Every structure is written in C-alpha cells, then in structure tokens.
C-alpha cells in the first residue's frame, strides 16, 4: 500500500467536550485510523454528570435561541454553510482519516453535509401556520409551529459530518437547542464542526457535543430530564428499538433513521451501462458502509450474466488503500469487528453454495481492509440476504418475473432505499410504487439530497430528514381557538 497523500494533525480537534460554548478537556477514547490502526487523537469520555451539564447548557440557551428572529437564525446557518465550504478540504481529510473513506467520498460528504445548513437557512424563514374559520362558524382556528424543545441527537460513524448536520441544521432553524453525541469511532469531525458553528455565531449552549463510551446510561440520563423533548437517532435498528423504549418513559418525540437492506433491481430492458454506473454508486460509495447501500442485486435472467461480467470488471478496477491516498477508490472498513462480520457473511454464503466472482479474500497486514467482492448463486437462506453487509460485497440474485422481483425486494424487515433500472417508465413507476421503501432511485444509484425527504418505512425508521419535512421533526403544532 502506498503512503497516505493527504496529511493532517488531528490533535487540535480533540480539544474536549463542547458544553455551553466551552471546551472541557479530557481523555479516554482513542480515535483509531482504520487505514493503519494508528491512534489519531484521544477525546474525552463523558460521564452521566457531564451529559446532564450539557442538557443544562442547552436549557439555559433555549429561550434566547427560540426568540432569536428567524432571519437572524437563518444568517447564522448560512455562515455555517460558508465556513464548512471554505474548509471543505480540511474537513474531508479529517473524515477520511478517522472514518477511512476515500477522499472523493469524503469531499462529497462535506458538500452534502454543508448543504443542510444552506437548505435549512432557507427553511428557517418559511415556518408556516394556519388561520381558518371553524366549520361551525363559531370561532377561528389558528395554528402556529413552535420549537419542540431540547433535542438529543445521536449519530453513527459512517457519515460523521452529514448525519450530524442533517439533524443540527433543521433543529437550529426550528429554534431548538441540542446535545449531539457522535459515534466514538469518528468524534473528531463532530468537534471540528462545533468550532465552526461557534465561529459562525451560534450562541453558547445552542449546540453541545459530548463523546462517551457509555452511550446507554448517558442517553437514558439525558432523556430522563423532562426538558428534553426530542430524540433524533441515526444508527442500527437494534439500538433504535432500545432508544424508542427509553424515550417512551418521558414520551419524548422520536425520529429514527435506522438500518437498510436495499434491493437493486435490474430488468432485462435496462440500459446496462447506466445500471452498472448506478450499481457502482449504490454499492461502492463509502465502500458500501451506507444505510442506502445496495445490499441485494436482483437481476432478471436475460441480463444477469452481462450485468455480473460488467460488475466484476468495474469492481475489479477499484484500488483498495488508505482513504487519504489519492489513488484509493475503496478505503478500509471502520473496525476489525466490521471486517470480521463481512468476512463471516461471505464465508456463510460460500458455504451455502455462492460462487466468488471477484475478491472474497482479506489482505494481510495492518488496516481493516476488505476487497471489492462479487458473489453469484447466493442462496436465499444465506445470512447476507437479511443482514446489512455494510461493506464492498455485491451478492447478485436472479429473477424471472416482475412479481418475483417485487416479492424478493420486499422480503425484509427493512424499508429504507431501493433502486430500479428499466427503460420502461410505466413499469418503473409501477414497481417503485409497489416496493416497500421510503426512497426509490428509478434509473439512479443515488437518492440522498438535502432538498428531499430522507427516511424509511417498516423497521428502517420513523420520520424524515431533509426537504420540507426535516424541520417539522423539530416543531410542534400549537392550536389556538379564538372566537373573534
Ligand atoms: P449503532 O446503532 O451501533 O450506533 C449509532 C450510534 O448510537 C452511535 O453514536 C453509538 O455510540 C450510539 N449507541 C449505541 N448504543 C447505544 C445505546 N444503547 N444508547 C444510546 N446510544 C447508543 O450504529 P453504527 O454501527 O454506528 O452505524 C451503522 C448503522 O447505522 C447501520 O445500521 C446503518 O444502516 C445505520 N444508518 C442509518 C442511516 C439512515 O439514515 N437511516 C444513516 C446512516 C447509518
């Protein structure tokens, strides 16, 4: 493997917990570079009392922020977008170092993450209401949208910037104050962004950031405070279930962005090259570590072999290496545990009869690498049919009829993203309508867009982030009945 091309000293980003606009130094959580297993920095391990101090800081800042005029809030959000954009290369390098993703993916993430600030700066001044005459004619119905209150935000490691800004930007636009708990694997980006928010003029206590190795007790303690009225979580479905139960104790409002098991359906009449272009984005963006990643390629019999040959050719051309190396197309996985999980899923599929068309063998040496891999003949009983692979492994399944494709696509507890490739728009729209998913890419391998509602059905989640829906998760309707 070649030496990393982009370099950055990570120590300045590990200034401490960010509470009430102050940095509280501490140590306890080493941040590992997944490319070579070196330690990049060490961030504090917050206790329950430090988490409660963050809630206190958010409570102190709440009244001032909710009464800040929307235009002023919008200008501050806009500055967050500008500062993130100005520092895009620094942030992309930081993401690439702590997460491992290839630099082009990291640059794409920074642009996507910053856009949530621009989009929500535009939403902040358009929070609407209603004014109607009651059907009986006896009174008027007034409805206004008020900030829901303090929000606890919990994010995963796979998009350290975007998963945070997708929550923080609408929360701030709505007038809420927040406590962000990022994943311990990738805390540096969250702290780097906290510095940017302060520089952009976000007042002390409006955004607080804490890292901890005890997310269970720390989150439970924050949710037990009756002033916390919102939990927005992005992560796995099992942890989402635990947090829903925890939030039930105080009936806190929940937004849940959970796991996926995306089908990628290719019909015989699809444009093969376009389908392969889309497949590479849907599978290989972030080295497969995305909730929207194509997890099951479901390909019609007539195009199956040509699709597999094209996929093997394209996936085989991707260079595996450190994310910061300019030539890298596929970086390492986040942890050794992740690589071992992927390796186990491939071994299970092979033991049940799958054929390895590409990859399938872990490289020796330092770093958490798994190579781009293509499997055919994967048995429906294989674990990877139901599990999120979360890596650069593409299992291809074969189908004959449209009904079969839809049944296979829907045979999962998840319902986040799905992809459909066909030249027949009528069929494409019909199949998109029948698939149980919150988002469908029709002849497109990328669905994420800050201007569109992102989210899942079934056990992939509750609520939407982005678009005009995102800000509503942080607002509550207040109805006033009046006789005049
Ligand atoms: P995870 O559920 O293990 O962790 C997510 C976050 O929850 C982390 O910050 C973690 O520290 C925290 N956490 C873990 N246990 C907790 C507990 N008991 N109480 C409170 N917090 C707890 O998920 P992950 O491995 O970091 O991320 C990968 C998962 O996230 C995948 O399932 C992926 O599909 C999902 N994801 C979903 C979306 C989406 O928008 N739907 C986006 C990105 C990732």
Q: What pTM value is reported for the model?
A: 0.97
The tens digit of pLDDT for each residue in 230-276 reads 999 999 999 999 999 999 999 999 999 999 999 999 999 999 999 99
How far is Cα 382 from Cα 145, in angstroms, rounded to an integer? 48
Ligand 1 site, residue 234, Cβ cutoff 6 A: yes
The string of pLDDT tens digits covering residues 410-443 is 999 999 999 999 999 999 999 999 999 999 999 9
Q: How far is the CA of 446 from the centre of ligand 1 (A)?
A: 21
Two structure tokens written together for 5: 């091309």
The CA distance from 447 to 390, in Å, is: 17
Taking all residues of the chain, what is their mean pLDDT, rounded to a whole number?
Answer: 97
Structural tokens at position 278: 């889309």
pLDDT band at 4 (very low <50, low <70, confident <90, very high): very low
Residue 234 Cα to ligand 1 midpoint, Å, equals 5
Helix (H) and strand (E) counts for the chain?
A: 13, 20
Let me know if 185 is a catalytic residue: no
Under a CB-based contact definition with an 8 Å cutoff, are residues 32 and 185 in contact?
yes
Q: 77 CA distance to ligand 1 centroid (A)?
A: 26
291 is catalytic: yes
Give me the residues paired with residue 389 across strands.
none
- Give the pair of three-digit tokens for residue 382: 């294989």
Q: Which of 98, 291, 388, 465 is catalytic?
A: 291
pLDDT exceeds 80 at position 166: yes
What's the pLDDT tens digit per position in 439-469?
999 999 999 999 999 999 999 999 999 999 9
Closest-lying ligand 1 atom to the alpha carbon of residue 460 = 41
Ligand 1: which residue has its CA nearest to atom 22? 215
Bridging pattern class, strands 228-234 and 150-154: parallel
Q: For strands 28-32 and 39-44, give the pairing.
A: antiparallel
Atom of ligand 1 nearest to the CA of 184: 11
Q: Note the pLDDT of residue 6.
A: 82
Q: What is the average per-residue pLDDT within 366-393?
A: 97
Task: Kindly list the distances between the CA atom of residue 118 and the CA atoms of 85, 97, 121, 287, 401, in Å, as whole numbers in the listed order.
Answer: 11, 26, 5, 27, 44
pLDDT, one tens digit per residue, over 271-325 is 999 999 999 999 999 999 999 999 999 999 999 999 999 999 999 999 999 999 9
Whether the CB of 470 sits within 6 Å of ligand 1: no
Could you tell me if the CB of 288 is within 6 A of ligand 1? Answer: no
**82: exposed, middle or buried (Cβ count in 10 Å: 0-12, 13-18, 19+):** middle
Q: Which of 98, 246, 257, 388 is catalytic?
A: 257
The tens digit of pLDDT for each residue in 217-226 reads 999 999 999 9
* Residue-level pLDDT at 5: 64
Pocket lining: 50 vs ligand 1, CB cutoff 6 Å: no
Q: Is 156 in the pocket of ligand 1 (CB under 6 A)?
A: yes
**Best residue for ligand 1 mutational test, from 156, 238, 249, 455 (most atoms within 8 Å of Cβ):** 156
Ligand 1 atom at minimum distance from 155 CA: 9
CA–centroid distance, 249 to ligand 1, in Å, is 21
Distance 258 CA to ligand 1 centre (A): 7
310 lines ligand 1 (CB under 6 A): no
Pocket test residue of 157, 159, 236, 244 for ligand 1, highest count of atoms within 8 A of CB: 236
Q: For 334, what's the count of Cα atoms within 13 Å in the CB-facing half-sphere? A: 22
């Amino acid at each position: 493997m070649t030496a990393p091309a982009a370099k950055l000293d990570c120590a300045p980003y590990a200034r401490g917990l960010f509470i009430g606009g102050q940095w509280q130094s501490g140590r306890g959580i080493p941040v590992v570079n997944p490319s070579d297993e070196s330690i990049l920095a060490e961030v504090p391990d917050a206790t329950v009392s430090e988490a409660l101090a963050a809630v206190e800081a958010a409570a102190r800042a709440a009244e001032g922020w909710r009464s800040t005029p929307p235009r002023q809030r919008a200008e501050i959000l806009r500055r967050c977008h500008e500062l993130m954009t100005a520092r895009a290369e620094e942030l992309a390098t930081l993401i690439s170092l702590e997460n491992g993703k290839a630099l082009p993916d990291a640059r794409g993430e920074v642009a996507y993450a910053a856009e949530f600030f621009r989009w929500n700066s535009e939403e902040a001044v358009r929070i609407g209401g209603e004014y109607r005459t009651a059907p009986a004619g006896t009174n008027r119905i007034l409805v206004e949208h008020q900030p829901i209150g303090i929000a606890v935000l919990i994010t995963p490691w796979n998009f350290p910037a975007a998963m945070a800004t997708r929550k923080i930007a609408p929360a701030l636009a709505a007038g809420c104050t927040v406590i962000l708990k990022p994943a311990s694997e990738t805390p540096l980006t969250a702290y780097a962004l906290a510095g940017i928010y302060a520089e952009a003029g976000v007042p002390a206590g409006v955004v607080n950031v804490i890292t901890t190795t005890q997310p269970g007790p720390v989150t439970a303690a924050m949710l037990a405070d009756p002033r916390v009225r919102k939990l927005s979580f992005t992560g796995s479905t099992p942890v989402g279930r635990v947090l829903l139960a925890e939030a039930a104790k105080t009936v806190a409002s929940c937004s849940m962005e959970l796991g996926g098991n995306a089908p990628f359906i290719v019909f015989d009449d699809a444009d093969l090259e376009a389908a392969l272009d889309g497949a590479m984005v849907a599978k290989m963006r972030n080295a497969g570590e995305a909730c929207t990643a194509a997890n099951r390629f479901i390909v019609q019999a007539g195009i199956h072999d040509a699709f597999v040959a094209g996929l093997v050719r394209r996936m085989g051309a991707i260079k595996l290496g450190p994310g910061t190396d300019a030539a890298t197309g596929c970086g390492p996985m986040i942890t050794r545990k992740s690589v071992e999980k992927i390796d186990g899923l491939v071994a299970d599929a092979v033991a049940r009869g799958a054929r390895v068309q590409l990859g399938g063998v872990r490289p020796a040496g330092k770093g958490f690498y798994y190579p781009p891999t293509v499997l055919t003949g994967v048995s429906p009983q294989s674990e990877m049919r139901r599990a999120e692979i979360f890596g650069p492994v593409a299992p291809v399944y074969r189908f004959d009829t449209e009904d079969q494709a839809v049944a296979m696509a829907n045979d999962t507890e998840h319902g986040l993203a799905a992809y459909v490739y066909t030249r027949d728009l009528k069929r494409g729209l019909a199949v998109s309508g029948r698939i149980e998913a919150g988002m469908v890419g029709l002849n497109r391998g990328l669905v994420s867009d800050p201007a569109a509602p992102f989210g899942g059905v079934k056990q992939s989640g509750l609520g939407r982030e982005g678009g005009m829906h995102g800000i509503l998760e942080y607002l509550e309707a207040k109805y006033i009945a009046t006789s005049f």
